[in-house]
A and B are shown apart, each in its own frame.
Chain A
Amino acid sequence: MGVDFDSSELRAFATDLGNAPMKVAVEARAVIEKGALNIKRQLTSEMGASSSFKGVASSMSYDMVLSADGIEAQIGPDKDKGGGALANIAYFGGSRGGGTVPDPQGALDAEVPSVEKFIGDLLEKALDS
Chain B
Amino acid sequence: MKADADAIVALAATSGYPAFFVDVPTAPTLPYVLVWSSGGNLALERPVSDSHTDTDDLIGVTTVAGTPAGVLIAQAAVRGVLDLKSPVVAGRTTVLELVSSQPVQMDRDVTIPGTNRNPAYAVDMYRYRAV
- Work out how many contacts link A and B, with CB atoms closer than 8 A: 52
Interface range for A: 10 to 19
Quick one: which of B22, B44, B119 contacts A95, CB cutoff 8 A?
A: B119
Chain B positions within 8 Å of A94 at CB level: 62, 107, 109-110, 121
Asked if A120 lies at the interface with its beta carbon under 8 angstroms from chain B, I say: no
Per-residue A-contact encoding for B104-131, CB less than 8 Å = 1, 0 else: 0001011000000001110101000000
Chain B positions within 8 Å of A96 at CB level: 23-24, 34, 107, 110
Asked if A102 lies at the interface with its beta carbon under 8 angstroms from chain B, I say: yes
Interface residues in B, total, Cβ within 8 A: 23
In the bound complex, CA of A93 to CA of B63 (Å): 12
Asked if A4 lies at the interface with its beta carbon under 8 angstroms from chain B, I say: no
* Contact yes or no, A88 B102, CB < 8 A: yes
Q: B74 → chain A, closest Cβ, in Å?
A: 12
Interface residues of B (CB under 8 A from A): 22-24, 34-38, 41, 44, 58, 60, 62, 64, 102, 107, 109-110, 119-121, 123, 125
A-B contact pairs, 17 of them (CB 8 A): A92-B102, A93-B34, A93-B36, A93-B60, A93-B62, A94-B107, A94-B121, A95-B34, A96-B107, A97-B22, A98-B34, A98-B62, A103-B58, A105-B58, A105-B125, A106-B41, A109-B44
